[in-house]
C-alpha cells in the first residue's frame, strides 16, 4: 500500500510502515521514491508513506495560511510520527533543507536509516549525527533498499 499526501494514514494502522524522507527538489532529485516503492512492492503488509506529491504546485506560497501547503506539511509530520521506519536519502545534487530538519526531529527515534552519498554538501554533518545517535548508514540507494527489505521482512 502506498499513501501520498493527503491520504488518510489510519488506513494502515495494522501494517509495518516506511516513510520516504529525502531529496525531492523537483528537477534536481531523481524520483528515488518510485525506485523504493517498486523494490518493496512484493512485500506484503507494508505501507509506504511517500511525500512526493503527484499534483504538487510549486507556486503554492509556503505559509501556514496556505491550506494545501499546510495540509501537506501536517500530513508529512503525522506520517513521520506514525511510521515504524524512516528512510532518509540525501541526493548529492540537492541541498534538501526539509530532509535535514526531519533528520534532526527523528534522529533519536530509533526508526531511521540514512543514505548520504559522497558529494552531498553537508555529508559531514549527517555522518556525525548518525554516529552520535547510532543511526545505520549505507552508501547507495541499492544498499538502502536492501537494508529496508532486511529490516522489515
So what's the architecture of 2-152 in CATH? 3-Layer(aba) Sandwich (3.40)
pLDDT, tens only, 92-105: 999 999 999 999 99
Return the pLDDT at 146.
95
What span, in angstroms and rounded, lies between the C-alpha atoms of 152 and 51?
20
pLDDT, tens only, 46-73: 999 999 887 767 788 889 999 999 999 9
Domain boundaries, the chain: 2-152
- pTM, two decimal places: 0.93
pLDDT at 114 over 90: yes
What span, in angstroms and rounded, lies between the C-alpha atoms of 145 and 71?
29
Return the pLDDT at 53.
80
The C-alpha cell at 139 is 552508501
Amino acid at each position: 500500500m502506498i499513501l501520498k499526501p493527503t491520504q488518510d494514514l489510519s488506513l494502515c494502522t495494522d501494517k509495518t510502515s516506511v516513510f520516504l524522507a529525502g531529496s525531492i527538489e523537483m528537477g534536481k532529485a531523481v524520483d528515488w521514491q518510485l525506485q523504493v516503492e517498486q523494490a518493496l512492492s512484493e512485500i506484503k503488509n507494508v505501507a509506504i508513506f511517500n511525500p512526493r506529491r503527484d499534483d504538487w504546485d510549486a507556486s503554492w506560497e509556503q505559509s501556514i495560511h496556505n491550506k494545501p501547503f499546510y495540509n501537506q506539511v501536517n500530513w508529512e509530520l503525522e506520517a513521520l510520527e506514525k511510521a515504524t521506519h524512516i528512510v532518509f536519502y540525501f541526493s548529492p545534487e540537492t541541498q534538501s533543507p526539509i530532509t535535514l530538519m526531519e533528520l534532526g526531529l527523528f534522529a533519536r527515534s530509533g526508526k531511521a536509516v540514512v543514505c548520504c552519498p559522497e558529494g552531498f554538501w553537508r555529508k559531514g554533518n549527517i555522518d556525525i549525527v548518525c554516529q552520535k545517535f547510532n543511526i545505520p548508514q549505507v552508501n547507495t540507494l541499492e544498499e538502502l533498499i536492501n537494508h529496508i527489505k532486511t529490516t522489515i521482512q
